[in-house]
Amino acid sequence: MRVLKTTIYLKTISLYILLLVFLFPFLVIILNTFKTTQQFVESPLSLPTRFSFDNYGKAFKDMDFITGFLNSSMITIISVLLIVLFSSMTGYLFVRFNWKANSVLFYAMLASMTLPFQALMIPLVVIYGDLGLLNSKGTLLFMYLGFGVPFAVFTFHGFIKGVPLELEESASIDGSSRARTFFQIVVPLLKPVMVTLIVLDTLWIWNDYLLPSLLLQSPSMRTLPLSNYGFFSTYSVDFSPLMAGLIMTIIPVLILYLILQKHIIKGITEGALK
């Protein structure tokens, strides 16, 4: 019995140590938001001499935080909604309709997931630049849809296979159309996997820097990750406002993640294994 208790205590202590290791960089960033850049450069790991929120005010103004927040929110919300809507419908089509083309298209989508974005970004920028479609939020939304749909279809495909077909047959006998059956019978059952994809895709799109930096050239279209880059100059970096801006950028998605985190593992497990 003592051996079992000792083992449990050791595991608990080890987990807390690992938690501190993972949280340490985040805590360092938070503490350094209360210092000046000079104090950060001289001693990045020391505690601040006084807690001042001046860096947050400077970051809010220099980043044009409201504009960046609105741009990030619009791009993220529309992209995530389109990915979830089209992917759920596509996954349902692949599962419920035994067309020969479905298998080919499904495996083609899976194959596309293996292509790294870095291998595609230069051709994409060249092609869309020649077409005059750069510096457009619509182009950015279109690309997020293209890169996000394959994984979402894969997840919905696995989950929908576990939805009893008898429910849809009963609705059909009662006179329900295929579209009404999908939206009123199937979609409510997809809530766990939908919440999971909403959280994962929100984290991805909200924090993405590379794709918006390639497409959005106008300052008025910058997202929050792009706005943070304004603290980098040719020969120096204004570190303390930069870290304050980073904290302000991640707070919205952190709140979303904390609210919906219980659905993430459940949705991934059920969607992948069913």
**CB 193 within 8 Å of CB 159:** yes
Print the domain residue range for 74. 54-273
Q: Are residues 222 and 97 in the same domain?
A: yes
Instruction: Return mean pLDDT, the chain.
Output: 85
pTM of the model: 0.85
Centroid of chain to Cα 42: 35
- Report yes or no on 138 lying in a domain: yes
What are 29-51's pLDDT values in tens digits? 888 888 888 888 888 888 888 88
Q: Are residues 64 and 169 in the same domain?
A: yes
What are 157-204's pLDDT values in tens digits? 888 888 888 888 888 887 888 888 888 888 888 888 888 889 889 989
For residue 105, pLDDT over 60 is answered with yes
At 76, is the pLDDT very low, low, confident or very high (cuts 50, 70, 90)?
very high
**CB 72 within 8 Å of CB 227:** no
Q: Are residues 40 and 66 in the same domain?
A: no
Most confident residue range from 141-145, 232-236, 251-255: 141-145
Q: Are residues 170 and 214 in the same domain?
A: yes
Centroid of chain to Cα 32: 26
**CB 112 within 8 Å of CB 150:** yes
If you search the block for the tokens 């987990």, which residue do you land on? Answer: 15
For residue 63, pLDDT over 70 is answered with yes
CB burial class (10 A; 0-12, 13-18, 19+) of residue 239? buried
Range 267-271 contact pairs with CB under 8 angstroms and sequence separation of 24 or more = 267/155, 267/159, 267/192, 267/193, 267/194, 267/195, 267/196, 267/197, 268/155, 268/193, 268/196, 270/159, 270/162, 270/192, 270/193, 271/155, 271/156, 271/158, 271/159, 271/192, 271/193, 271/196
For residue 234, pLDDT over 70 is answered with no
Q: Taking each helix axis from N to C terminus, what angle separates 65-96 and 239-273, rounded to the nearest 10 degrees?
A: 10
Rounded mean pLDDT of 77-94?
94
For residue 260, pLDDT over 80 is answered with no
Q: Are residues 35 and 99 in the same domain?
A: no
What are 4-28's pLDDT values in tens digits? 677 888 888 888 999 889 888 888 8
The number of domains in the chain is 2
Of 240, 232, 228, nearest to 34 by C-alpha is 240
Q: Are residues 30 and 157 in the same domain?
A: no
User: 181: which residues sit within 8 A by CB, 6+ positions away?
Assistant: 168, 171, 172
